Structure 1
């Protein structure tokens, strides 16, 4: 586990902080604005808020500059500037926060090389469609409390250019060490100290993570297949028990957002294991003790039931493998005892089991007594260590007779820190004086399980679950779990590894006049290849592993290395070409009778969906200049297709028109213009209102919201039906809230969900392999749905029972009146 260590002088007194060479612990500290600290007896956790600046591609249909910093829900409140110095960096003026910060784990705690970013700023800002976006991050890290003063010195010396922003501000501090270190913090950083209740912060942080971060909680079974089973966000969260294992143990019953009660605890916790372990072995550091315990054999130290009864104690229902007396074998030979007879590893393991089994037993008894069926274990004592989690899981299952579900948290060590920061956002938000009524949300992110560091990223706007999901409580936006499916994992990791070079080349080409593009692209390439390599050896290293999570990681890395939209030029070129074909395209459609036209429109959706630069096999075709829409039509196999509901869909269109169709679009160019817009036009002609939903930020050659507005403006000049519908408000374009090529219906823009309800949507259309197949193949809705995609991957097509270019045309009617 990475940690802060101190370099001592000749008197062995720590006088400076040494950072591990393999990780920059204090990411972006020079831009630090706000801090929250959780001081425990053994460990201290720090969360600090900082801002970073990125370039974001923009298609501006109004021909005006937009400053992303001051845009909320399409309202222009600022102007674009090429000079960072002209952007007000004052957090209080520009970054209002709300009472909650939102979800999506980026699983990336590495920091982009600042020199690369700064060198490229002036050149990239001269690019067409480029805007400056100020992003916010909440970084967090841990270290031993005894080094707190040294850490504060380091922080104070490295808040470059922002000391005045920090000085005089308030730091939220919680934990048992507040009283001891409050004056020290105030003196060294020149800040005001606001002490927050430890229990309050603990619950606030836990509730936030469980309610907003997908896959935050998981169960664990050592040697299980898989060992980690990640949980979806639980809409029926309360009640639950939180067992927080720090120096001691607190057991808290939580029944609501701020309704909780400490119902018990234990004095034997992390400090017990660390303290006794230091006395009984030569290991003095906690991580060393854990490593020692992992090698030991508790049976050589503990007395088991079989040691007493020769096997199982059947009449009492006791298995022979149960521990009857911890450390019992040390004093069984007529009082003769010698520690030398027992290895330190065996002693450490026995001690660990003693502490954990006690915690598991007491937690189970409290849960049974209070009629609670799930227990979440938190606190840095666990360290997401497999041995720790396995012992606790077995203990809870045994003592509760499998009636209580033991669960663990990815951000287990930062519950109080996150809670303190959230508490701070409530106060800091009230202190802002910009005069602009806006909200800025955050999105949670973290490093891997064994990492003592992480970050929480900003995310614009509110999010909500799609209101028309048939089973929202069990919805999972991933068809295949790559942790469980070894064959699929091996294939997809190899597949993505094979695309890295192509993505790198595209990134360089998108900034071919930029002197730092090659350097940044190679850094991106190296980082992505290392990530894929890590996932091969440890698929749960960054939490849940799916095709969606890998695709989103790629987009995040591109963004971090200042490649906001590598396919921007390609999309612009394809959009222009497709627009020249649009008028003749719809004219030919109008010559067909209604039944034939409705079926032909589905064929056009399928053909359009061929144009996907994210598919390796398709990108090879697209690189040939002569591959066009007619070529794509010729690739569509004869019916019946792999999933074929075309006849059912055609028959449905003979009935009453839909009230409102919500369409999640996929690719730019021929896909959106010759596939989607003619389909939309037909729905509008039938009297159906349409909401077109596109990505909020770039992913491959997918359509983004600002681009869709430009295309809609162009298409309506050609088509009177679309123009009239757009002018009357029957056709609108909205952001989906997605940042990758997949579709998570549990995380849509809140205003989109509200609009779906307001317009009484009764048809949901999902287009594309990423959105329809990878994430929503088995998703059912309360209303009618239509999923259309081409399977552009041979391995996946074969897995689904088809061949390359197999077609998904799935229409379902689950309408609930």
Structure 2
């Protein structure tokens, strides 16, 4: 396989995206080795299915009987380390990793090798009563150059099929323009039957599935926008739309429903035009080289602009002088000899790219106008999610569509047909398994009657916080690292210095797992590549902030099967904190009213010290000699950096709030000895409380399912909390966030509706990530309280304070 090379650059790849639990179509495939192939003129793409096991916190009486989930992962070798799923070679692991760091614990207390768990149940209880094993199912993608089709089939045979005799006579789904040419080769090499699926049908099926089920699948792009990437919420009503699939050529398809579509047009100028002419006009060896040339070129040195033809009378023509009047218009013939040598290859490549994309954008806009459609999704591997490609198409559609048509892009743009073919196969396997339920290739429990479109997407819908004072101008990030060079240099260097520890701690979180070290090493490599990209071009992946860097770490974590490195640590710290809770509350209740209210803020601050994401605090925690009392001693004397404590105490002398929404931070001492006594006081005053925690793991932050476990334990100790939960005055809800910061533009829709229904009049935000890195300057329509310890020396100095300085910011809603 010396000649085999995967296609494309890691930086251009889409990321792992978890699909909802309720997509039952895949439940029956958890023990199967299933795959589908999409053979194009240039690229061959494979979608294959695997499962992995992870430990998670859960409450046995609340958990579902099946906790199987599906992720969609692009990978040049996704990790698939289970007994039934094949182990991909190390050559294929480089695009699939994540990492974090964790407090030292006995390796015997950690989560053992995932492969040791039986596949008989997808929701098994662990030795700890608050834990269970979660099975995560994944659909992986691989791409090859079609000219290496035999090497592609070797990969399938060696890494997916395994023993060819076991699959002999089985049927696989294949789509794409190269099916007829290579069907015989597939049959001979793999010993399977080839079932050909219509290419356009698979494109639409895959697109509908991703749009309906995958959060952040579709987005619009605007260069220098704030934000540059605006993601479309998962919505059951996204029809009608045009799908413009850019491959070697271009197909334009109008989609009006799940199964109603029509190819209404196309264009011969597409990816092959760019690659073909590019190879003639430049020395670029492949598409990626050509695109890199274009990124560094200037089309204005090659193209004739309107201003070159009409000097000062643009107003008369109503045409902008910056518009391209003639592509390649400045290249001409002099004395019968080409003047191409006068122009740089980069300028030529950029002009060529603009010629192709502007043509596609114009034709797409005209078809959308003709058919009264206002959404155009661009698909096809040609785009690569590249910002330059997306910007040109967006501008072209906006111009020709008079800003009435939206240009939208897809994260898995290159795999639409592959997903569709796999879905076709899944439908076939579902029917097959109902007859051959005992087959070794299928789960014996079968599949229900639900099909892929009967998905409850409510939990995946997001909305803007209804209490923002000015939601139109709201930006969560305190610092814009694309503009602030000093801050950018500091934070990128800071994260680069910690990447080795991230990788090390990720490995420690999975003792006994033979693939953990290689996956962690790949995480380190990928994260360092991302940091270098940001240093070179801060805007390469959209707006850059501390939030986006932290989110990338968590994204890579999940992408490479380190879903929750802090799980065991959080469990241990929760147990310790719960054992201290009764005595802690007893001492609080002995205090007079004003002293108690002040102490509760101090306890909030002390709890917020326990943040494993803060480098200097993590060093303290690793000594195992840093507890709640030690944290209290670190709180500086007043006045604090931002100090509204007196105003807050005075406000509490007045009538109680109707309802408070509290965004919480860390597990352990933070949530149990800091937040819970604070909200207990609010409850005692007659205030209803919505406790909002992350939907997915990030560092040692408490997540929703863990918070439910903690509340069930605490209500056995505290009658006030028990009564409030039983009467509905205290509820725990998911925020929809998956990182250590807080973006109030993307809260769970159900949370926003509950905030409105309960008439929330107090918003409390705790923690440095949620109230300093983000939302420091955010104003609300109602009262707000932000509380955090600033645990970074550089940031503290920049804000005018010292290490461990305090944010205690109360606003009454009008200031």
Structure 1 residues 665 and 259: alpha-carbon distance in aligned structure 2, compared to 1, 3 A threshold: farther
| 1:464 equivalenced with 2:465 (yes/no) | no
Listed as ranges, the matches of 1:349-498 within 5 Å are 351-366=352-367, 376-384=377-385, 388-389=389-390, 392=393, 395=396, 408-421=409-422, 434=445, 462-465=459-462, 469-470=466-467, 478-498=477-497
- Residue 110 (str. 1) matches residue 96 (str. 2): yes
Deviation at residue 769 of structure 1 after TM alignment: 1.9
SS in 1 for 2:699: coil
Instruction: Say which is worse superposed, 629-638 or 288-297, in terms of deviation.
Output: 288-297
Return the alpha-carbon distance in structure 1 between the equivalents of residues 562 and 353 of structure 2.
48
Equivalent position of 2:618 in the other structure: 619
CA contact (8 A) 1:646 1:811 kept: no
Listed as ranges, the matches of 1:521-560 within 5 Å are: 528-539=527-538, 545-555=544-554
Structure 1 residue 585 displacement after superposition: 2.6
Is the CA contact 1:58–1:131 (under 8 Å) kept in the aligned structure 2? Answer: yes
Q: Quick one: structure 1 residues 354 and 519, their matched pair in 2 at CA, closer, same or farther if it must change by over 3 Å?
A: closer
Give, in angstroms, the shift of residue 499 of structure 1.
3.1
1:703 aligned residue: 702
1:248 matched residue in structure 2: 249
Separation in 1, partners of 2:451, 2:775: 29
Task: Name the residue aligned to 1:265.
Answer: 266
Alignment partner of 2:144: what SS?
strand
- The separation in 2 between residues aligned to 1:749 and 1:439, in whole angstroms, is 25
8 Å CA contact 2:304, 2:326 repeated in 1: yes
What's the CA shift string for 1:5-48, capped at 9, x where partnerless? x76xxxxxxxx7455899899x99x9983334444344333322
SS in 1 for 2:381: coil
Report the Cα distance in structure 2 between the residues aligned to 1:559 and 1:244, rounded to whole angstroms: 29
Q: What is aligned with 1:770?
A: 769
| 1:70 and 2:66 matched | yes
Query: Could you tell me how far apart the structure 2 residues matched to 1:163 and 1:593 are?
Result: 77
Cα-Cα RMSD: 5.7
Q: Check conservation: 2:53, 2:114, Cα contact below 8 A.
A: no
In structure 2, how many angstroms separate the alpha carbons of the residues matched to 1:204 and 1:640?
A: 55
Contact 1:46 1:141 in 2 (8 A): yes
Q: Number of aligned pairs? A: 749
On the 8 A contact 1:170/1:194 being kept in 2, the answer is no
Q: Deviations over 1:652-688 (max 9, x none)?
A: 67325635x5544322332222212212322333445
Query: Does residue 719 of structure 1 match 2:718?
Result: yes
Q: List aligned pairs for 1:259-338, cutoff 5 A.
A: 264-276=265-277, 285-287=286-288, 290=291, 316=317, 325-326=326-327, 336=336
8 Å contact kept, 1:301–1:342: no
Q: Which residue of 2 aligns with 1:80?
A: none
Structure 1: which 5+ residue stretches go unaligned?
1-5, 8-15, 74-83, 92-106, 443-458
Aligned to 2:585: 586
| Alignment pair present for 1:155 and 2:160 | no
Partners of 1:700 and 1:206 in 2: CA distance: 34
CA displacement 1:760-797 (0-9 Å, x = unmatched): 76655432222333344466778765443223224434
Q: Distance in 2 between matches of 1:241 and 1:776?
A: 38
Deviation at residue 495 of structure 1 after TM alignment: 2.0
Counterpart contact for 1:792–1:804, Cα < 8 Å: yes
Farther off after superposition, 401-410 or 613-622: 401-410
Match for residue 677 of structure 1? 676
- Alpha-carbon spacing, 1:714–1:184, altered in 2? closer, same or farther (3 Å): same
In 1, the alpha carbon distance for the partners of 2:465 and 2:328 equals 58
Instruction: Give the 3 Å change call, closer, same or farther, for CA 191–642 of structure 1 in structure 2.
Output: farther
Cα distance in 1, alignment partners of residues 673 and 557 from structure 2: 29
2:33 matched residue in structure 1 = 33
Cα distance, 1:583–1:539 mapped onto 2, change above 3 Å = same
**Superposed CA offset, 1:491-512 (max 9, x none):** 2222223334554565576678
Could you say which residue in structure 1 is the equivalent of 2:791? 792
Larger mean Cα displacement after TM superposition, 404-413 or 665-674: 404-413
Q: Give matches, 1:4-153, under 5 Å.
A: 17-18=4-5, 33-54=33-54, 56-58=55-57, 70-71=66-67, 109-110=95-96, 120=113, 129=128, 132-148=133-149, 150-153=151-154
Preserved CA contact (<8 Å) 2:574 2:668: yes
Q: Which of structures 1 and 2 has the larger relative contact order (alpha carbons within 8 angstroms, sep 6+)?
A: 2
Q: Normalising to structure 2: TM-score of the pair?
A: 0.72
How far off its partner does 1:718 sit? 3.3
CA shift, 1:231, in A, is 1.7
- For 2:756 and 2:307, locate their aligned partners in 1 and report how far apart those are by CA, in whole Å: 64
* Contact 1:218-1:407 at 8 Å conserved across structures: yes
Displacement of 1:135 in angstroms is 2.1
CA distance in 2, matches of 1:88, 1:461: 34
- 1:159 Cα shift? 1.8
Q: SS in structure 1 opposite 2:216?
A: coil
Deviation at 1:487, TM superposition (A): 3.5
